[in-house]
Chains A and B, each alone.
Chain A
Amino acid sequence: MMLARVADSLYWVGRYVERAEHFSRLSEVMLNATLDRTDAAFQAAKIARAAVGDAALALASNPVDLARALTLDRDNGGSVVMSLARARENARQVRDQITSESWERLNLLYLRSTSSRSEAAFNADPQGFLSEIVTDLHLFKGAADATMSHGEGWRFMVAGVHLERALLIARLLKASFIDGYGASVDEPISLVAVLRMACALEPYLRVYTADLNARFILEFLMFDEDFPRSIRYCTAHIEQSLGHLSRGRDSGRSDPLRLAGRLNARLAYADIEEIEGPGAGALLAAVEAECKAIHEAMYDTFVAYPLEMRLPA
């Protein structure tokens, strides 16, 4: 039992933190991949533009401008700095619920990335700047995992992380492999870039060896049971978190647990052949739609319920 507003804020801390991490990594990989002027470099930039999903940003003329806008632009709600600011603002509103160890990590990251010197630091070494943010976010997650009680508040935060991650990976895969969204990546070097954007290169190699092809990457990032950035891993953990959160609660029609369970089963028992051809696009679209439905159901069930319905007996 915790305050509804607090649960909502913790959920959003999870979502914003994950978003900041993903776009930092994506920008860093893109900057690295576009150092040389090959087809692969061109594809990597195209993936990044499509995965950002922001028409205004996608107009940026070169990769460094794109990365700078994606990282530092305060007018763009999706930028890394704004995600960090919002994560921190949500954390500040529930400061009493977050351990000092995790709060100080997030606060430090916020202070550094919003300081007046951040743009100069980015310009001096964009990749270094971005990889430091990713490292610090790992430290925040580690500190939170090691010091916060893994109770209800924690579950809301983790549900936010996994829901956001499922959406981001789905978008990245669409941008990389689905016709009509972005690039149809086939160059081995750009396939490596896709894997790096999902922080998945080394785990992938261990399963599939250096046999790089789009089909295997889709399979790995959608269905792998153990890799924490596969969609299936995310949906399994969303279901697990919601299972804890829904204990002893009567489930209504929009029960988020039911939706999460259904989505997870769809991925767990999917026919691998389903991702051949247009099937992959349909499945990724379904993942996005279902994640949004889970998000709404969580809000209706835990946060914005009508008062009359929930008076204690």
Chain B
Amino acid sequence: MARPSGYAASAAYDEMFATTGETRSHYALLHSRIEALGPEALADRQRTLERSFLLQGITFTVYGAENTTERIIPTDLFPRIVSAAEWATIEAGLSQRLRALNLFLADIYGPQKILSDGMIPRDLVLGAPSYRREMQHLFVPHGSYVNVCGSDLIRGPTGEFFVLEDNLRVPSGVSYMLANRDASRRTFPDVFRQAGVRPIERYPDTLLATLKTMAGDWRPNPQVVVLTPGVYNSAYYEHAYLARLMGVPLVEGRDLAVHDDLVYMRTTAGLRRVDVIYRRVDDDFIDPLTFRRDSSLGVAGLFNAYRSGSVVICNAPGTGVADDKAVYAYVPSIIRYYLDEDAILPNVKTFLCRVPSELNHVLANLDKLVVKAVGASGGYGMLIGPHASRAERENFAAALKADPENYIAQPTIQLSTAPCLVDGAIEPRHVDLRPFILSSDKVVVTPGALTRVALKRGSLVVNSSQGGGSKDTWVQSAEAAPIVRGPGT
């Protein structure tokens, strides 16, 4: 099979078609099935999928002046397929990276050897807004500061995967990974059966086991809860989903109370001890007494209870210092420093604007680079040089000169493209890859991921806050290469 004529080829690596136009072998089954179904059946399946998401309440709320409406997160029908060999590299690389980053956090919030050895500028780490002095010298079980990690990987024009960002604070999207899987199993059951897709359905119980392991041995059968900012948070669906699948209470700040450094939840039968909090609330908001005083989402006294060791907060506060965009540039050195290994998954080349020579390079090449504010996330505070207007570039240049420490720059990478169903036609769209990694006494990489899609033609921005969508990701198992060919091949 080969690339259809309507499917525009570009400089980007395409997940389904090789540059020669041939269908890549691990996509053959899916491609022939898509061809066999034809546009009408595909459109029909797309409608069924959207309706199922709406019914399940996999939506976000748009608040308008007159009334509020609910929209589903745009979801594409076609799964993205990752071959077993490619996944093996990704898995080893992610596991290595998270082990190193946890060692880094334990060092930073402990003896700070890496700073004494001069591997990273001291002020870059200790001056980062995400550094939490309050965490200094606190005991964290298994040295596992980051229990849930959702790294963003991208694939460059040569087909090589890079780590673009380590999301170590409160990464989200795992419920969409699971919901997309549920949908794709129903959309392409026959292809799924033959493709040898690795299951991801164990994620909720693996997460629960991870959280329980963090409680240590001193409390048998620890009480785990999921802490959500509440029903108005855009990721609320995910919080409720995880709580339901783990079978643990979904609590809000107002359901918890701290008394004598012990954390309780208010139940119908009085107060009950809480041992592990999987918090989906940012550091700043978890305890108004310790962090932001205007927060009403958290629990007064929670951090003191945490400090006393009576409760575990997952992820630990202060993990943001390790996914800071400036610290990111040092991750390959961090891996070498703690593990004495080379990074399996490369970083994207990063220019630190705090370094004068690199700033000059960035200013001279603004039209080729992506510039990011160090503190921002979600696609905000970002300049994509080649797509920006002259005025936008000039504004950014001024901001860079005024506050160089706040910016980094990276070459614009043509993210790989994958086939998507857009208005009835099959078109390439840029995608990234967000796998989820769990860590307690061991590191577990879930064999699947959320593939985020930039829905606008040619756009490189995949963030859902910027109009991105998602699709399911099939990781093939090593044994089951597609042996059976579908019709049409």
Contacts and interface: CB of A to CB of B under 8 A. Distances in A.
A74 interface: yes
B483 interface: no
A107 interface: yes
A118 to B, nearest CB: 11
A93 interface: yes
B267 A2 contact: yes
A107 B255 contact: no
Contacts, number: 82
Given A4-B255, A104-B55, A108-B55, A95 B240 contact: yes
Interface in A118-137: none
B56 A89 contact: no
A95 B244 CA distance: 8
Interface stretch (A61-69, A195-203, A302-310): A302-310
B72 to A, nearest CB: 11
B254 A74 contact: no
A152 B268 CA distance: 9
Given A2-B268, A3-B251, A96 B244 contact: yes
A92 B250 CA distance: 12
Given A104-B55, A310-B270, A3 B259 contact: no
Contacts of B70: 111
B368 interface: no
A249 interface: yes
B270 A5 contact: no
B240, B251, B266, B272: most-surrounded residue (chain A CB, <10 A): B266
A311 B268 contact: no
Contacts of A96: 240-241, 243-244, 249-250
Task: Classify chain B: how many residues form its interface, as a range.
Answer: 20 to 34
A89 B67 CA distance: 15
A89 B231 contact: yes
B268 A312 contact: no
A247 to B, nearest CB: 10
Nearest to A88: B57
B272 A4 contact: no
A254 interface: no
A5 B227 CA distance: 14
A257 B175 CA distance: 41
A3 to B, nearest CB: 5
Contacts of B254: 5
Contacts of B264: 311-312
B135 to A, nearest CB: 28
A213 interface: no
A249 B231 contact: no
Interface string B256-271: 0101000011111111
A90 to B, nearest CB: 10
B15 interface: no
Contacts of A152: 268
A120 B428 CA distance: 40
B257 A307 contact: yes
Interface in B256-291: 257, 259, 264-273
A95 B57 contact: yes
A103 B241 CA distance: 12
Nearest to B57: A107
A307 B270 CA distance: 8
Contacts of B9: none
B152 interface: no
B55 A107 contact: yes
A245 B251 CA distance: 21
Contacts of A5: 252, 254-255, 266
25 contacts: A1-B267, A2-B249, A2-B268, A3-B266, A3-B267, A4-B255, A4-B266, A5-B255, A7-B268, A92-B57, A92-B240, A95-B57, A95-B240, A95-B244, A103-B57, A104-B55, A108-B55, A111-B55, A111-B70, A152-B268, A156-B268, A245-B268, A307-B266, A312-B264, A312-B273
Given A249-B269, A303-B268, 19 more contacts: A2-B249, A3-B267, A4-B255, A4-B267, A5-B254, A5-B266, A92-B231, A96-B241, A96-B243, A96-B250, A111-B54, A302-B268, A307-B257, A307-B271, A309-B270, A311-B264, A311-B271, A312-B270, A312-B272
